[in-house]
Amino acid sequence: MPASHRPIAARRRALLRVPLALGLWAALTAAAAAEPFTVAEVDVEDRKAVFATVETVDVTAARTRIGGTVDKLSVDEGSQVTAGQVVAHVADPKLRLRRKSVEARIQALESQKKLAETALARVRKLHASGTVAKARLDVAETDLEVVTRDLAAVAAERQVVVQQQAEGAVVAPAAGRVLKVHLTKGAVVLPGETVATITAKGFVLRMYLPERHARFLNTGDEVLVGTPGLTADGGASETRTGRVRQVYPEMAQGRVVADVDVDGLGDFFVGERVPVYVATGRRTTMVVPETYLFRRYGLTYVRLDDGAEVVVQPGQPAPGGVEILSGLRPGDVLVPPPAP
């Protein structure tokens, strides 16, 4: 071979060694990852799929305190409110007229008081000079005291009317979201009528389980919560973990009621249905990682450490893999399936 061609040949031999080295490295890596798996019996929980509904922890009502006509309505269904926020206003025309009447009486009594004070000052001068008797002075002092007290009573009556007008503002008793508005602007209301229903203290999932599952349900138990059906993705199969916060002692129509706390539950749609998986008991079974299973001719196989391939019957997914119903015994050692 000419000397000029030798570097080219060496370069070709080096390029040929690269795939061989990569293949050898991949084979060694696969062999290292191919760890045997020993089949053993484990305890798993049987879970029942039920539907829970999004409910509010507490529901409160914004009510009217006086009768009249709703002249202002500042919230709608879905509005977020704070404690003390004015959600509506009730006006009673009679209160405005009554206030004018009371203020007119106050002005009249104030004039009478000035007149009584003037009369008392004159009588005191005359009594000091000996012109009038002591009885006349007592009468003038009593007249001034009566007018003063009448003026105080009418002023208190005006404060009552002012307070009644202020109570026309319907306020939210707690912070939350408005679920329903029961009245419209212009409606005639009586004292104590509900203007709006407001949620308070967040949202929970409320489950209704058959009473046969009541003995398996305890406060603090972990449950799996699926994706709500009203989400933008159409209800994916992702699950989240929730905790039972309260189990109610009273059953409703043969069902036990329990509340579940879930992070990121949302706070808008009340009554939304969410799939929940609750534990209804424990049993012993065999669980195999899914990587040790392979399918052939419509059947599911596993490979034993002696090279034999065994047909198995897989069951439901379980923590750590797939439940095996038949085909294996505790103590069997599995190896990863052959490459396709």
Query: 307-334, pLDDT tens digit by residue?
Result: 889 999 998 888 788 889 998 989 889 9
pTM of this prediction?
A: 0.56
The residues facing 12 across adjacent strands are none
Would you state the pLDDT for residue 161?
93
d(CA 63, CA 67): 11
Highest CATH level, class, for 48-58+202-282: mainly beta
Would you state the pLDDT for residue 18?
39
What does the domain layout of the chain look like in residue ranges? 48-58+202-282, 93-167, 289-340
Would you state the pLDDT for residue 274?
84
Would you state the pLDDT for residue 22?
38
Would you state the pLDDT for residue 98?
92
Would you state the pLDDT for residue 121?
92
**Tokens encoding 317:** 């997914």
Of 97, 138, 101, nearest to 119 by C-alpha is 138
- Convert the pLDDT of each residue in 107-118 to its tens digit: 999 999 999 999
DSSP per position, 158-190 = HHHHHHHHHTTEEE-SSSEEEEEE---TT-EE-
Which portions of the chain are predicted below pLDDT 50? 1, 3-5, 7-12, 14-33, 230-236
* 240-247 and 222-225 strand pairing: antiparallel
Would you state the pLDDT for residue 237?
53
DSSP per position, 103-115 = HHHHHHHHHHHHH
Q: Strand ranges (DSSP E) for 64-148?
A: 68-73, 80-81, 86-91
Q: At what angle do helices 134-166 and 93-128 cross, to 10 degrees?
A: 160
